[in-house]
Amino acid sequence: MSAVTIAIANQKGGVGKTTTTVNLGDALARSGIATLIVDLDPQANATSSLGFEKKPGEGVYEPLLTGGDLSSRAIAARKNLWLVPSELDLAAAELELSSQKEYLTNLKASLSQLQKGKKIQAILIDCPPTLGLLSMNSLTAADHLIVTLQSEYLALEGLGQIVGVIDQLKESKLNKTLSLGGIVMTMYDGRTKLSQEVYAEACKHYKKKMFKTQIPRNIRLSECPSFGQTIFEYDPKSPGALAYQNLAKEVIKRFFSGSSKK
């Protein structure tokens, strides 16, 4: 049975995309779901957040360009959690991909080969904060898109654009089965009118896609990447840890109803 592949994306930076990828990935792994994180962002924040460095020749760059097997690049990051790290040359990949015939399907081919050799149940792809060729490769390879939506009005403006990409990929037949898997509010402060209004507005248009869990503004979530730890290692009793634990339960219920869970 093939893994459920989820691209976590937003064309805006600083909206909790990597924080969500890393902590959701660890939460899924702790719940008994064998999980792989693919760091497709040249900034390599997911890689460093898990305590690893980006090194030439050891990440996603070459397989992305060739469609080759990613298995040898997947490193054990935690119990039940693997990582394909970003690397130094990934920033140049967009230019090199654009000259290739199958420039939007290489990642899909690589992930397909990886799954033949590893019993992975979930693949989370941390996309760069643009809708360039790296993100488009992620969306072409994904079953679902999860959008991290910051609790600000400007964040709503870009939501329609990234959701529209799903329709484009379906119409072009590059990924006919891609769905909007869900929208998760990040940096949420329920005490403020702004957060409440942004959530209400998002629900007005995407009610069935909104996750009930909102990720709070929490200093512990901001601190843990500098220690190369997930929130469950750094402060497992913090509001941020509780939120990602609850989000993982929603994700499991929505996408992994048949998977083994604790």
Which value, in Å, is the radius of gyration of the alpha carbons in the chain? 17
Residue 261 lies in a domain: no
CA distance linking residue 152 with residue 149, whole number of Å:
8
Residue 262 lies in a domain: no
Residue 260 lies in a domain: no
Tokens 């760069």, residue located = 128
pLDDT tens string 150-171: 888 877 877 888 888 999 999 9
Residue 111 lies in a domain: yes
Residue 25 lies in a domain: yes
Instruction: Please calculate the CA angle 81-234-33 and round it to the nearest 5 degrees.
Output: 25
Count of domains forming the chain: 1
pLDDT tens string 67-83: 888 998 999 999 999 99
Q: What is the CATH number of the domain that holds 239?
A: 3.40.50.300
Are 174 and 133 within 8 A, CB to CB? no
Q: Which domain holds residue 93?
A: 4-255
For residue 55, pLDDT over 90 is answered with no
Mean pLDDT of 31-40: 96
Residue 60 lies in a domain: yes
Helix, strand, coil percentages in the chain from 3-state DSSP, rounded to 5: 50, 15, 35
Residue 247 lies in a domain: yes
Task: Write down the pLDDT at residue 259.
Answer: 47
Q: What confidence category does residue 261 fall into, taking pLDDT thresholds of 50, 70 and 90?
A: very low
Tokens of 94: 């967009």
The pTM assigned to this predicted structure is 0.94
Task: Write down the pLDDT at residue 131.
Answer: 87
